[in-house]
Amino acid sequence: MRLRVAVVGAGPAGLSAALTLQDIGHDVVVYEKRPRVGGKCFSVPAHSMRADMGAIAVAPCSKVAGLAARMGRPLIEFNHDDHPSLARLDLEPVFRNSWELARVAVDLLRFEHHYRDWRRRDVRGEGAQLEDRVSLLEYLEMKKLSRLSPILRAFLSGYGYGFPETTPASYFLAYYDVPRPILLRIQKRCFTIDGGYDALWRDVAARLNVRLSSSVVSIIRGDPCIVETDLGTEKFDKIIFACPPDELKMCLDSSGEERDLLDRVNFVSYHSLAFEGRGLLGCCVHLPDWCRPEQAGRPMLWYRPRDADFCQTWSIAPPEMTKQTVERCIRDSATELGADIGVTISHRAWRYFPHFPLEASAAGARQQVRSWQGRRNGFFVGEIFSFASAEHVVGHAQALMHEFF
Ligand SMILES: Cc1cc2nc3c(=O)[nH]c(=O)nc-3n(C[C@H](O)[C@H](O)[C@H](O)COP(=O)(O)OP(=O)(O)OC[C@H]3O[C@@H](n4cnc5c(N)ncnc54)[C@H](O)[C@@H]3O)c2cc1C
């Protein structure tokens, strides 16, 4: 049966859900409150190039890479020198010492075993597990894998997913399929979207019925679902929620249980900064020593596109730290690394990585939100229903649409 479906939010999750539904043969309307699509995929002009201030990295053979191929949008290589995108600088001693390297390799294989075991239990839908009750750091200690902590720390914090001291281990395991091929040396290559990550979402949106600058202000799920925007009211058979949890809270006809869980979602204050300069480090570099709560504000990940005379850095800072302080901290750190810093091209502060803190995670919050699917004809995609990366939300949205429609 051909259904009329509304999608709230034109980020990667909403647009992937909408495209999948349209492919299946349904009528889809996407509502987007901003005048642009792409959500946290957002690029700005930087000299003759574009700097991605939101999502940037695409894994090969991933769902996003598949979508880019379908849209005819080329990928370009993220790493452009001989070094893999693996932690360097502070970790150089590890990689120079072959004995230590062998021990790390063995521990990675042991971690792989635990990851596969967790994945099996998670897919089976088992309730809150050890991995939901302890932080990543505690988990590594319990499994006698502490040698891995500087490397995993770089991959967790560098990409904005909090610090291993406080992030539940289950979040790292949910995300591990992205760094895994690089860490296990299955493949070293990583890509980005030519023309900026948001260009991909404009390509996808061009095939869909997207209403820009139309914010959904209230929703009544049921039969029919009633959607109220600032431009009027419409009826649909089904509705897909694809907006961040704090924005979802404002428009959803939530039950007590839904409201309670949405209230417990935490965010990380994640900064992305692009600046001009000379003597800038090349390629993609992780800076694990600065991936620590006490170093908050320092850059943790650093990237210079091929032949560019600008650089991009990412940093987690406490929410109370001002943009000026973070910027000063990043600039001082870049100078320490030997760079001669010029003007700032762009600085964005994001409310990032919506996640349940340890206490809620231990009580089964991650598993509980999964049971919301299909309630009163409402479906949920996006970061708290999968994981905070474009790769994960796209894969999850596509799979969910095929499962229920
Ligand atoms: C600095 C940074 C770096 C990142 N790096 C990577 C990376 O390298 N690789 C990767 O895979 N991912 C990365 N990510 C994560 C990735 O961008 C997000 O996980 C992804 O964008 C989430 O998609 P989404 O559709 O769930 O949500 P969003 O992208 O947040 O989109 C939600 C959309 O809903 C809209 N909306 C909200 N409320 C309403 C409403 N009431 N009515 C209508 N519309 C509404 C918003 O305007 C927005 O467009 C990064 C993110 C940031 C911020």
Q: Would you say 25 and 37 are in contact if contact means Cβ atoms under 8 Å apart?
A: no
Q: Which of 56, 243, 392 to mutate to test the pocket of ligand 1 (most atoms within 8 A of CB)?
A: 243
Q: Would you say 73 and 200 are in contact if contact means Cβ atoms under 8 Å apart?
A: yes
Helix (H/G/I), strand (E/B), else coil: 382: coil
40 C-alpha to ligand 1 centroid (Å)? 3
Q: Give residue 190's pLDDT.
A: 81
Q: Which residues contact 228 (CB under 8 A, 6 or more apart)?
A: 216, 217, 218, 219
Quote the CA–CA distance of 14 and 38 in Å, as a whole number.
9
Q: Which of 351, 389, 391, 394 to mutate to test the pocket of ligand 1 (most atoms within 8 A of CB)?
A: 389
Helix (H/G/I), strand (E/B), else coil: 128: coil
Residue 116 CA: distances (Å) to CA of 212, 252, 299, 334: 41, 35, 32, 38
Q: Would you say 28 and 209 are in contact if contact means Cβ atoms under 8 Å apart?
A: yes
Q: Give residue 85's pLDDT.
A: 43
Per-residue pLDDT of the chain in tens (405 residues, 90 and over written 9) = 999 999 999 999 999 999 999 999 999 999 999 999 999 999 999 988 899 999 999 987 789 999 999 999 999 887 655 544 444 455 666 666 788 888 888 999 999 999 999 999 999 988 889 999 999 999 999 999 999 998 899 899 999 999 999 999 999 999 999 888 878 877 777 889 999 999 999 999 999 999 999 999 999 999 999 999 988 999 999 999 999 999 999 999 999 999 999 999 999 999 999 999 887 777 788 888 899 999 999 999 988 888 888 999 999 999 999 999 999 999 999 888 888 889 999 999 999 999 999 999 999 999 999 999 999 999 999 999 999 999 999 999 999 999 999
- One-letter amino acid of 217: V
Superfamily per CATH, domain 4-45+197-265+357-404: FAD/NAD(P)-binding domain (3.50.50.60)
402 C-alpha to ligand 1 centroid (Å)? 22
Q: Give residue 197's pLDDT.
A: 96
Quote the CA–CA distance of 372 and 244 in Å, as a whole number.
16
Question: Between vectors from CA 276 to CA 270 and to CA 281, what angle results, nearest 5°?
Answer: 80
Q: Which CATH number fits domain 266-355: 3.30.450.20, 1.10.3720.10, 3.40.50.2300, 3.30.70.1990?
A: 3.30.70.1990
Measured from the Cα of 192, ligand 1's closest atom is: 8
39 C-alpha to ligand 1 centroid (Å)? 4
Quote the CA–CA distance of 315 and 155 in Å, as a whole number.
13
Q: In what order do the strands lie in the sheet with 27-31?
A: 210-211, 27-31, 4-8, 238-241, 378-380
The total number of residues written for the chain in this structure: 405
For 188-223, give the DSSP string: ---EEETT-HHHHHHHHHTTS-EETT--EEEEE-SS
Q: Would you say 19 and 207 are in contact if contact means Cβ atoms under 8 Å apart?
A: yes
Quote the CA–CA distance of 245 and 253 in Å, as a whole number.
13
Q: Give residue 94's pLDDT.
A: 64
Q: Would you say 12 and 56 are in contact if contact means Cβ atoms under 8 Å apart?
A: no
Q: Would you say 169 and 138 are in contact if contact means Cβ atoms under 8 Å apart?
A: yes
Q: Give residue 361's pLDDT.
A: 96
Return the structure tokens found at 370: 């999964």
213: left (phi over 0), alpha (psi -120 to 50) or beta: left
Q: Give residue 151's pLDDT.
A: 87
Q: Which residues line ligand 1 (CB under 6 A)?
A: 8-14, 31-34, 39-41, 54-57, 160, 215-216, 242-244, 247, 251, 270, 272, 314, 350, 352, 382-383, 388-391, 393
